[in-house]
Amino acid sequence: MLNTYNWYLVPVANPDGYEYSIHSSRMWRKNRSAHPTSYFCVGIDLNRNFDSKFRQVGVSSNCHSDIYPGITAFSEAETQNLRDLVVDRKDKVVAYLGVHAYSQFLMVSWGNVLGNSRPHNYVEIDRVGKKMQSALEGHGFRYEYGTVYQLLDYAASGASMDWVLEAKPNMYSYAYELRPDQRSNDGFNLPPRYIVSQGEEYFDSLAVMAKEMSVCRAGSGYEQCQSHAVVG
C-alpha cells in the first residue's frame, strides 16, 4: 500500500468542534464558528459546507440546527483546508474517504439528490466498494452498502464525498459510518474496547481498495501507480 500510493490522513477535520465535544458538550456536531449576524448562533455543519448542490436538500436554514450549512459554500477554514488539499493534488488524487460514526454503512454518491442517482463511474465504484464492504464484515459486523438515500431515506447536499467527484470525475469516493449499527441507543459513545477491532476492519477495507482500484489494474505498472495519491 505504501509503495504504491501516498496516503494523506486527516485524523480530525473539525478540531475546535472536537475539543468542545470533549470539554463542554459531548454530542456537539458542528464547528465553533460564530454566526456573522447572530450572536446566539454558533457552528456550521462542515459536511454540508462543501460546494455540492449547496443548501439545496437535507439542510436547515436555522442557524441553531445541527445541519445548518452556513451562508456560503466553503465558508469555513476546515472545509477550505480539505478542499485545498484535494485541489492542490488534483492531477494525482484517485480516491477520497470520509469517516464518520455511526450505523455500519459504506456510502457512495450521489448523496445530494433524492432517489437513486449515481455518477457515471458508479459500476467501478461499486465493484471496488462491494469488496471493501466484505472486508469490513470480516470481523463479524454487518455493514450495509448504498447511497445516502438508499440507506438513510434522505439526501444531504454539501458533503465532501460528492464534492470530490464533481471536482474530479472518475475518482473513487466513499463515506464510512463506523460502529455501532443504527439500532444503537448510544452510537456516538462506542466503548473503548472496540477501538482496536474497529481500526482493524477499517484498515482491511483500505487494503482491498488499494489492491482493487483500476489505476493499478489496467497494466499501468508500479511507476505509473506510485504517482497517484489517496486522500483519506
Distances (CA, A) of 173 to 140, 162, 226, 230: 24, 8, 19, 10
| CA R_g for the chain | 18
The helix or strand, by DSSP H or E, that contains position 86, with its residue range, turns out to be helix 77-88
- The β-bridge relationship of strands 6-8 and 229-231 is parallel
Helix (H, G, I), strand (E, B) or coil at 105: strand
Assess whether 177 carries a catalytic annotation: yes
- Annotated active-site residue in 76, 78, 177, 201: 177
The set of cell numbers assigned to 198 is 474497529
**What is the set of active-site residues?**
177
